[in-house]
Amino acid sequence: MRAVHKRYLREFLPAMTAYVVLILGSVWLLPQLQNTPLRVLATLVPVIPIVFVLRAMFRVIRDQDELERRIDLESIVAASAVVGLGSFTYGLLLSANVLPQPRAETVAVWVLPALFACFGIAKCLVRLYYRGR
Amino acid sequence: MNNRVRELRSERNWSQADLAERLDVSRQTVNAIETGKYDPSLPLAFKVAKLFELTIESIFLPEE
């Protein structure tokens, strides 16, 4: 594994671990809190490690070699297109009342995970393309 | 674009990993260049040329 990817794992894994711990803590704590500022704090604290996850991603994209960067950027474009078009289509169907109405927070919370999942799938496909003959 | 990277690498008995290490890129990038799936940037092409002690145009050949 190249140094740039080792650094990525060193940055990504602790941030992701912190996120899991904080989100579990937040879910456990929220029902016990009545005070609004405390509820806001408990809800938003898990977002902090996600910022570090994104920072790790930006740094690895910037510092890896040119083909790796191209693969990541093409994958991000594909993932953004799929999630953007998918959510737009879903929104149109919801506004036409042909689908059961979900809770707004459920839709909003799933945007980022959907983006990450689509990025992962797109990256596998783009890598296959560049693997060559 | 066609190129002679695989041929030049084989002449030196280097693996793709060896060449990748010398160019400070991934093995995947070397493979993509050799198979013609990816045309390197000008700085990387210069690096390849310098490593093989050849000119860029003697390594990277435009398709007819």
Report CB contact under 8 Å: A66, B32: no
Looking at residue B62, its pLDDT comes to 86
Residue among A122, A10, A111, A133 nearest A71 (CA) = A122
Which residues does chain B have within 8 Å of residue A132's beta carbon, measured at their own beta carbons? 31-32, 34-37
In A, minimum Cα distance to B23 occurs at: A65
Looking at residue B38, its pLDDT comes to 93
| The pLDDT of residue A110 is above 60 | yes
Maximum alpha-carbon separation in chain A: 61
Model confidence band, residue A132 (pLDDT cutoffs 50, 70, 90): low
Q: What angle do CA A117, A58, B22 make, to 5 degrees?
A: 105
| The pLDDT of residue B63 is above 90 | no
Using CB atoms, which residue from B31, B36, B41 is nearest to A66? Answer: B41
Report CB contact under 8 Å: A65, B26: yes
Q: What pLDDT, in 10s, does the model give residues B5-52? A: 999 999 999 999 999 999 999 999 999 999 999 999 999 999 999 999
Which residues does chain B have within 8 Å of residue A2's beta carbon, measured at their own beta carbons? 26
Looking at residue A2, its pLDDT comes to 86
Q: What is the pTM of this model?
A: 0.86
Please, are residues B52 and B4 in contact by the beta-carbon 8 Å criterion?
no
Using CB atoms, which residue from B32, B40, B41 is nearest to A132? Answer: B32
